[in-house]
Structure 1
């Protein structure tokens, strides 16, 4: 009886709650944008590992200024963002071998570049001043 109650509570978690916990437990993800060139070609995807945080339910992604993602977003703002709940070290190989890979979450949507007002200083995001004293 107790086991059935535990299983029902685990099953009661919605997909959104599971995704929120995966996204909240990590700080790195893979950002995918559509590669563009002078011909307008959109046949390839550019992927790289980026850092992110969630603030009031919105993802904030750090992309270096010289990264190809910035150019891609100006031309085509579609993108995807995937976060996997990865267990580092030799345990990852073991999990792959028994086909019990960790859960993952993905987001898709439009991205805003810093030129659109999407740029937020990191010290405001983390609630700290440059001298590392707390704001609140």
Structure 2
């Protein structure tokens, strides 16, 4: 790891971005099993926020595996890195003042807790989603 890297502060602060957008950035982390309806829920939430004049963006696990995470497989260590990367991106979106909806399989509590920890200063809302078919 390089030691000559320094964080560059933005000339426009988080509070200023929140005022401009008339909203506070946050992360809504939707987790659940494959096929449980996470993406459907994320899309519905994003649409509802839009109708209320709120700006959101969905980070869908499957979509991210086409680009950002295309080099990762499904072994335990790859899943950990997948969640870490998504957490870092979600943090940037929240800092920009957006409501970031992260929708992905994230089976390990410790990885979700690590994301929550990296979001200090932003709201992190975790929702575990499971679809049940109640048809008789």
The TM tier, using the shorter chain, reads under 0.3
What is the TM-score normalised by the length of structure 2? Answer: 0.24
Q: Which of 1 and 2 has greater Rg?
A: 1
**TM (normalized to structure 1)?**
0.24
Which fold has the larger relative contact order, with Cα–Cα distance below 8 Å and residues 6 or more apart in sequence? 2
Q: Which protein is richer in helix relative to its size?
A: 2
Give the structure with the larger strand fraction.
1
